[in-house]
Homo-oligomer: A and B are copies of this chain.
């Protein structure tokens, strides 16, 4: 076991997969010489050279499309789109091409590609560099969507994403890049589609992804003081969703609070709430609540920015109100 930051865990996953399988290569803006704007691809250019770590022009549609074309012809591209906000430019290739090819072509074509996208708030980067658009991707059959919250999960899930035969969107919550955690020295993977219970509890289930997992864990500590025992679940994969783990928890706790940075309306939490109320209706002792990003673009001013996404205090307050 080594202690490392999440950004380093991602880096080592990329390095090891590139060493293991020569079909794996990396492409994106400033991923080479610069090592990635957030440092995720640091050192890979030097180790693997400019052919396998490709600095692309600023052309998000072509980046995604080049990945699609390479994937259907035997490679395993890992593309970086610098901010999830710019996935807006690549949506045709991702949604109309990558996600649908296997189906449209009758099951005969696989598209083993990963698109890595940094997401979320916390850097005063304002409305065009701070979004959480996972709900869009969750809505698309043919895509898989992954979002880790710890270095351990990040490394294991990125390896699984690279080894998967389908297009995987890998969402990296920017603010978690510097979180440290234990990561095994040996090769390991974490299966796509398995949630993780980050903390066991009895009274209420908190469902959270990315940085909100850590906020929820902190809130759970505080709530424990007040006698409320929280179970904290990180779905880790947002498509397909591990409802078994989630429903089992809700059956036990009878209460569910979803915590997310994304905007509330038609956001990811709506999927969870809609499905859980349908499948666990008789077990719920209170409405499922969403502690979510407000329905506004992300403002620049850091105080305003903090206001529009959930805080630990808000989680504590809203969860208490469930009792």
Q: A66 near B: Cβ within 8 Å?
A: no
Q: Which residue of B lies closest to A102 (CB)?
A: B297
Are B269 and A100 in contact, with the CB atoms below 8 A? Answer: no
| A288 in complex: contacting residue of B263, B265, B274, CB < 8 Å | B274
Are B265 and A139 in contact, with the CB atoms below 8 A? Answer: yes
Query: Given A91-B89, A91-B91, A103-B127, A141 and B296 touching (CB < 8 A)?
Result: yes
- How far is B131's CA from A99's CA once the two chains are assembled, in angstroms? 13
Are A278 and B290 in contact, with the CB atoms below 8 A? Answer: yes
Which B residues touch A299, using CB under 8 A? 103
Are B92 and A266 in contact, with the CB atoms below 8 A? Answer: no
Q: Which residue of B lies closest to A268 (CB)?
A: B266
CB 8 Å contact bits of A134-151 with B (1 = contact, 0 = none): 011011111000000000
Q: A281 near B: Cβ within 8 Å?
A: yes
Min CB distance A12 to B, Å, is 31
Min CB distance A23 to B, Å, is 26
8 nearest CB pairs, A to B? A273-B274, A88-B91, A281-B287, A138-B266, A270-B270, A270-B274, A139-B266, A88-B92
